[in-house]
Amino acid sequence: LLGNRYLSFVSENMGFYMTFNYFSQLKVKAIWNEINRLIAALRPHSRRLVDGFGIPDKLIDAPIANDWVQAYSYPNVPNGAGRNADGSLA
């Protein structure tokens, strides 16, 4: 996990490193490939990692974790987004 965190930091600041020629394009591709490999390796363990933080299931299954556009679209929200029952603006 620590290696993944370091690569994440590097990727977040990749523009800086490329601007000042710290990394070649080939190295940048290798870094992205490694990040993707690590994420794929971590995926089967993600639920156990989340469980370790004690986050309640109702938050994990919150609309933002799924299809939040559908969840917050009218008619799924009562009087959704400032609308009357007939769909007109309130």
Q: Where are the beta strands (DSSP E) in 1-90?
A: none
What residues make up the domain containing 18? 2-82
Per-residue pLDDT tens over the stretch 25-42: 898 889 889 888 988 898
Q: What is the dihedral of CA 51, 53, 59, 60, to 10 degrees?
A: -40
Q: Is 67 domain-assigned?
A: yes
| Position 89 in a domain | no
Task: Record the pTM.
Answer: 0.53
Domain membership flag for residue 8: yes
Report d(CA 51, CA 26) in Å as an integer: 37
Q: Of all residues in the chain, what percent carry a pLDDT higher than 70? A: 72
* 5 band by pLDDT with thresholds 50, 70 and 90: confident
Q: Looking at the domain assignment, is residue 62 inside a domain?
A: yes
Q: Could you report the per-residue pLDDT of 40-72, keeping only the tens digit for each?
A: 898 888 888 888 999 888 777 777 777 777 776
Domain count, the chain: 1
- 26 lies in some domain: yes
For residue 14, which of 2, 23, 4 has the smallest C-alpha distance? 23
User: Residue 27 domain-assigned?
Assistant: yes
Determine, yes or no, domain membership for 13.
Answer: yes
Any domain includes 87: no
